[in-house]
Homo-oligomer: A and B are copies of this chain.
Amino acid sequence: MTSTRTTVAGNGRAATLSDVAREAGVSLATASRAINGSTNRSVRADLRERVLGAAARLNYSPNANAQAMARGKTATLGLIVHDIADPFFSTIAAGVTEAADTAGLAVTLANTQHDAEREVGFIQTLQNLRARSIIVVGGRQDDDEANQRLREALAAYQERGGAAAMVGQPILGVKAVHVDNRGASAALARALHGQGYRRFAVLGGPERHLTAAERRGGFCAALAELGAPVAAEAIIPSPFVRDGGHEAMVELMRRELDVEVVFAVNDVMALGAMTAAREAGLVLPRDMAFAGFDDIFALRDVTPTLTTVRIDMVEIGRQATALALGDGEAPDLVTVTGEVVLRESTPAR
């Protein structure tokens, strides 16, 4: 009376592999083999058909959790970003999802909202999920304690067989894709100097933000070498986001320094800064030149077009995924070089 219904999936209860096997008149093992003919496809054609047919009829959906248990591994990739709404991160996420997809992995997204503490928490969650690998995206802070906690969390994760990679400074004991921020910023500085600029200001991001520091450092060092050092008071710290750029520009203008060109350590900050300048009545680029870093897609539609350092964020996402999956003998560190792109915002003078 209870086991007569065999062809209907039933209300709520999903068909199991046993159901499929019974429906097909084969054993559980055969059904299992037929459905994912893993390495060795050792099931007779007609049986395979029967099983596949039964599975289709019952609308069978393999339980990934059960498979994870039996196989001892999952097909999940964890992706941790600071802010998925920020174009820098969402573009990298696009690269990661693309690569993960072709590798047959599901991406679990964790958004820390710029809270470093939550990174550790998410690593724990992904550890619980037994994610096959984890990619942590975003510049590190110069905060030994926070970094240490993160390092330990990742170490524990890797010790248990997980593979991790990051986009940012290679200081966490995991493989990393790192942008040559210093070199690219120095190149940008030289290019601007070559355009005739001599009086610079830098919207430098957070004091302890390593990516910001690298960009500031490379930029200022190059200018110092060229004999056009950036005055200390012309380096304005602020958050690494759009509003941070805006704030910093307001502060810079308040200081009434004699500046020709402003370098914001990332594009969204540069855009916020340009808006601040306009709000103050400046005409761009006539009254002030601007340069950013990243070359986010949105730059295609701003005016004047923004000079920046181009990095291929989609590709960075792909590379990070490759590292995290250990494709071949993946190197420990992939260094990405940026390309200086001079545009209307920094006309020759």
Chain A positions near chain B (C-beta within 8 angstroms): 9, 11-14, 59, 61-66, 68-69, 74, 76, 79, 83-85, 87, 90-91, 93-94, 97-98, 101, 106-111, 113, 124-130, 156, 159-161, 242, 271-272, 274-275, 278, 297-298, 300-303, 314
Contacts and interface: CB of A to CB of B under 8 A. Distances in A.
A90 B97 contact: no
Given A79-B109, A98-B111, 6 more contacts: A12-B159, A14-B161, A63-B130, A93-B111, A97-B111, A109-B109
A93 B97 contact: no
A83 B156 CA distance: 33
Contacts of A314: 85
A125 B108 contact: no
A160 to B, nearest CB: 5
A301 B242 contact: yes
A85 B74 contact: no
Contacts of A271: 298, 300-301
A109 B111 contact: no
B300 A298 contact: no
B130 A65 contact: yes
10 contacts: A13-B160, A14-B161, A64-B128, A64-B129, A65-B130, A69-B69, A76-B108, A101-B111, A108-B108, A302-B302
Contact of A161 (B12, B64, B109, B300): B12
B90 A84 contact: yes
A264 to B, nearest CB: 12
